[in-house]
A = this chain, B = another copy of it.
Protein backbone atom coordinates (compact mmCIF):
# COMPACT_ATOMS: atom_id res chain seq x y z
CA UNK A 1 0.00 0.00 0.00
CA UNK A 2 3.00 2.23 -0.38
CA UNK A 3 1.71 5.24 -2.33
CA UNK A 4 4.18 6.34 -4.93
CA UNK A 5 3.35 9.94 -4.13
CA UNK A 6 5.27 9.54 -0.88
CA UNK A 7 8.44 11.54 -0.92
CA UNK A 8 11.37 9.12 -1.26
CA UNK A 9 9.84 5.70 -0.85
CA UNK A 10 12.08 3.99 1.67
CA UNK A 11 13.06 0.96 -0.40
CA UNK A 12 14.00 0.18 -4.00
CA UNK A 13 15.96 2.14 -6.55
CA UNK A 14 15.41 5.88 -6.09
CA UNK A 15 14.17 8.19 -8.82
CA UNK A 16 16.95 9.80 -10.79
CA UNK A 17 17.02 13.51 -9.97
CA UNK A 18 19.17 14.07 -13.04
CA UNK A 19 16.35 12.64 -15.13
CA UNK A 20 13.93 15.03 -13.41
CA UNK A 21 15.90 18.13 -14.27
CA UNK A 22 16.76 16.88 -17.76
CA UNK A 23 13.09 16.26 -18.50
CA UNK A 24 11.94 19.67 -17.26
CA UNK A 25 14.71 21.39 -19.17
CA UNK A 26 13.86 19.42 -22.30
CA UNK A 27 10.21 20.37 -21.87
CA UNK A 28 11.05 24.07 -21.80
CA UNK A 29 13.27 23.65 -24.86
CA UNK A 30 10.51 21.83 -26.70
CA UNK A 31 8.04 24.57 -25.78
CA UNK A 32 10.34 27.17 -27.28
CA UNK A 33 10.91 25.24 -30.49
CA UNK A 34 7.57 23.58 -31.04
CA UNK A 35 5.04 25.38 -28.90
CA UNK A 36 2.40 23.75 -26.74
CA UNK A 37 0.34 21.99 -29.37
CA UNK A 38 3.22 20.33 -31.21
CA UNK A 39 5.06 19.26 -28.10
CA UNK A 40 4.87 15.49 -27.59
CA UNK A 41 5.92 13.25 -24.76
CA UNK A 42 8.10 11.21 -27.08
CA UNK A 43 9.92 14.28 -28.29
CA UNK A 44 10.63 15.47 -24.75
CA UNK A 45 11.88 12.02 -23.78
CA UNK A 46 14.26 12.03 -26.71
CA UNK A 47 15.62 15.48 -25.87
CA UNK A 48 16.09 14.53 -22.23
CA UNK A 49 17.82 11.28 -23.12
CA UNK A 50 15.38 9.15 -21.16
CA UNK A 51 12.75 6.60 -22.07
CA UNK A 52 9.17 7.70 -22.62
CA UNK A 53 8.08 5.40 -19.82
CA UNK A 54 10.21 7.42 -17.42
CA UNK A 55 8.10 10.48 -18.16
CA UNK A 56 4.85 8.65 -17.54
CA UNK A 57 6.14 7.37 -14.19
CA UNK A 58 6.34 11.02 -13.04
CA UNK A 59 3.57 12.87 -14.85
CA UNK A 60 0.17 11.61 -15.94
CA UNK A 61 0.04 13.72 -19.07
CA UNK A 62 1.48 16.63 -21.01
CA UNK A 63 -0.36 19.31 -19.04
CA UNK A 64 1.03 18.33 -15.66
CA UNK A 65 4.52 18.05 -17.07
CA UNK A 66 4.35 21.51 -18.63
CA UNK A 67 3.00 23.11 -15.47
CA UNK A 68 6.00 21.81 -13.52
CA UNK A 69 8.38 22.83 -16.28
CA UNK A 70 7.09 26.40 -16.36
CA UNK A 71 6.41 26.90 -12.65
CA UNK A 72 10.05 27.37 -11.71
CA UNK A 73 10.23 30.45 -13.94
CA UNK A 74 7.82 32.21 -11.61
CA UNK A 75 10.33 32.00 -8.80
CA UNK A 76 12.14 34.88 -10.46
CA UNK A 77 9.37 37.32 -9.55
CA UNK A 78 10.47 39.65 -6.77
CA UNK A 79 9.01 42.68 -5.06
CA UNK A 80 11.78 45.03 -3.96
CA UNK A 81 10.68 48.06 -1.95
CA UNK A 82 10.91 51.02 -4.32
CA UNK A 83 9.40 53.52 -1.91
CA UNK A 84 5.87 53.88 -3.24
CA UNK A 85 2.94 51.65 -4.09
CA UNK A 86 2.88 52.83 -7.67
CA UNK A 87 6.59 52.16 -8.17
CA UNK A 88 6.24 48.69 -6.63
CA UNK A 89 3.34 47.86 -8.92
CA UNK A 90 5.09 49.11 -12.03
CA UNK A 91 8.17 47.10 -11.19
CA UNK A 92 6.42 43.79 -10.63
CA UNK A 93 4.16 44.25 -13.63
CA UNK A 94 7.17 44.75 -15.86
CA UNK A 95 8.72 41.60 -14.43
CA UNK A 96 5.55 39.67 -15.05
CA UNK A 97 5.36 41.02 -18.58
CA UNK A 98 8.95 39.94 -19.26
CA UNK A 99 8.00 36.46 -18.09
CA UNK A 100 5.02 36.37 -20.43
CA UNK A 101 7.22 37.47 -23.31
CA UNK A 102 9.29 34.32 -23.02
CA UNK A 103 8.18 31.80 -25.62
CA UNK A 104 7.97 28.98 -23.08
CA UNK A 105 5.39 30.69 -20.91
CA UNK A 106 3.65 32.49 -23.75
CA UNK A 107 2.53 29.29 -25.42
CA UNK A 108 2.10 27.20 -22.28
CA UNK A 109 0.27 29.30 -19.70
CA UNK A 110 -3.02 29.82 -21.50
CA UNK A 111 -2.99 26.25 -22.73
CA UNK A 112 -2.74 24.65 -19.32
CA UNK A 113 -5.32 27.02 -17.88
CA UNK A 114 -7.66 26.08 -20.72
CA UNK A 115 -7.05 22.44 -19.94
CA UNK A 116 -7.66 23.00 -16.25
CA UNK A 117 -11.26 24.05 -16.87
CA UNK A 118 -12.00 20.32 -17.27
CA UNK A 119 -9.30 18.88 -15.03
CA UNK A 120 -9.60 19.67 -11.35
CA UNK A 121 -6.27 18.12 -10.26
CA UNK A 122 -4.52 20.15 -12.91
CA UNK A 123 -6.21 23.32 -11.73
CA UNK A 124 -5.04 22.61 -8.21
CA UNK A 125 -1.51 22.01 -9.44
CA UNK A 126 -1.53 25.34 -11.28
CA UNK A 127 -2.91 27.13 -8.25
CA UNK A 128 -0.33 25.69 -5.90
CA UNK A 129 2.73 26.12 -8.08
CA UNK A 130 1.98 29.27 -10.07
CA UNK A 131 -1.03 31.29 -8.94
CA UNK A 132 -0.44 31.34 -5.20
CA UNK A 133 3.17 32.27 -5.83
CA UNK A 134 2.03 35.44 -7.60
CA UNK A 135 -0.71 36.19 -5.13
CA UNK A 136 1.76 36.45 -2.29
CA UNK A 137 3.26 39.44 -4.04
CA UNK A 138 -0.05 41.26 -3.92
CA UNK A 139 -0.36 40.58 -0.20
CA UNK A 140 3.14 41.82 0.42
CA UNK A 141 2.68 44.95 -1.68
CA UNK A 142 -0.61 45.83 -0.01
CA UNK A 143 0.79 45.46 3.51
CA UNK A 144 3.81 47.51 2.55
CA UNK A 145 1.56 50.30 1.25
CA UNK A 146 -0.38 50.22 4.51
CA UNK A 147 2.86 50.57 6.49
CA UNK A 148 3.73 53.58 4.37
CA UNK A 149 0.32 55.06 5.01
CA UNK A 150 -0.64 54.97 1.33
CA UNK A 151 -3.57 52.74 2.14
CA UNK A 152 -5.70 52.74 5.30
CA UNK A 153 -5.04 50.07 7.94
CA UNK A 154 -7.20 46.95 8.01
CA UNK A 155 -10.65 47.23 9.44
CA UNK A 156 -12.75 44.43 8.04
CA UNK A 157 -10.45 41.46 7.28
CA UNK A 158 -12.98 39.97 4.87
CA UNK A 159 -13.02 43.16 2.82
CA UNK A 160 -9.23 43.17 2.81
CA UNK A 161 -9.10 39.65 1.43
CA UNK A 162 -11.63 40.57 -1.24
CA UNK A 163 -9.58 43.60 -2.22
CA UNK A 164 -6.41 41.52 -2.46
CA UNK A 165 -8.22 39.07 -4.70
CA UNK A 166 -9.56 41.88 -6.84
CA UNK A 167 -6.19 43.56 -7.25
CA UNK A 168 -4.60 40.28 -8.15
CA UNK A 169 -7.14 39.47 -10.83
CA UNK A 170 -7.00 42.99 -12.21
CA UNK A 171 -3.22 43.17 -12.46
CA UNK A 172 -2.50 39.63 -13.63
CA UNK A 173 -5.56 39.61 -15.87
CA UNK A 174 -4.80 42.93 -17.50
CA UNK A 175 -1.19 42.02 -18.21
CA UNK A 176 -2.06 38.63 -19.62
CA UNK A 177 -4.85 40.07 -21.72
CA UNK A 178 -2.66 42.86 -23.04
CA UNK A 179 0.20 40.51 -23.87
CA UNK A 180 -1.67 37.50 -25.26
CA UNK A 181 -5.10 38.64 -26.43
CA UNK A 182 -4.51 42.21 -27.55
CA UNK A 183 -0.97 41.15 -28.45
CA UNK A 184 0.44 44.58 -27.77
CA UNK A 185 3.55 45.46 -25.80
CA UNK A 186 3.45 45.75 -22.04
CA UNK A 187 5.85 48.68 -21.98
CA UNK A 188 6.55 51.49 -19.53
CA UNK A 189 3.86 53.89 -20.78
CA UNK A 190 1.16 51.26 -20.57
CA UNK A 191 2.34 50.02 -17.19
CA UNK A 192 2.41 53.59 -15.87
CA UNK A 193 -1.19 54.07 -16.95
CA UNK A 194 -2.27 50.81 -15.36
CA UNK A 195 -0.52 51.59 -12.10
CA UNK A 196 -1.99 55.10 -12.00
CA UNK A 197 -5.45 53.69 -12.57
CA UNK A 198 -5.04 51.20 -9.74
CA UNK A 199 -3.52 53.57 -7.24
CA UNK A 200 -6.13 56.18 -8.07
CA UNK A 201 -8.93 53.65 -7.78
CA UNK A 202 -7.69 52.32 -4.46
CA UNK A 203 -7.28 55.84 -3.14
CA UNK A 204 -10.77 56.84 -4.23
CA UNK A 205 -12.25 53.71 -2.67
CA UNK A 206 -10.58 54.24 0.68
CA UNK A 207 -11.41 57.95 0.62
CA UNK A 208 -15.06 56.99 0.12
CA UNK A 209 -14.82 54.77 3.18
CA UNK A 210 -14.92 51.46 1.28
Contacts and interface: CB of A to CB of B under 8 A. Distances in A.
Centre residue among A131, A173, A175 by max chain B CB count within 10 A: A173
A198 to B, nearest CB: 6
Chain A interface secondary structure, helix, strand, loop or mixed? Answer: helix
Interface string A155-168: 00000001101101
A138 to B, nearest CB: 12
A169 to B, nearest CB: 4
A2 interface: no
Interface in A156-210: 162-163, 165-166, 168-170, 172-178, 180-184, 189-190, 193-194, 196-205, 208, 210
Contacts of A203: 200, 204
B35 A117 contact: yes
Interface residues of A, number: 53
A131 B177 CA distance: 11
A18 to B, nearest CB: 30
B165 A184 contact: yes
Interface stretch (A42-50, A52-60, A71-79, A105-113): A105-113
- A-B interface, 7 closest residue pairs, ranked by CB to CB distance from nearest: A200-B204, A173-B177, A201-B201, A173-B173, A110-B114, A197-B201, A111-B114
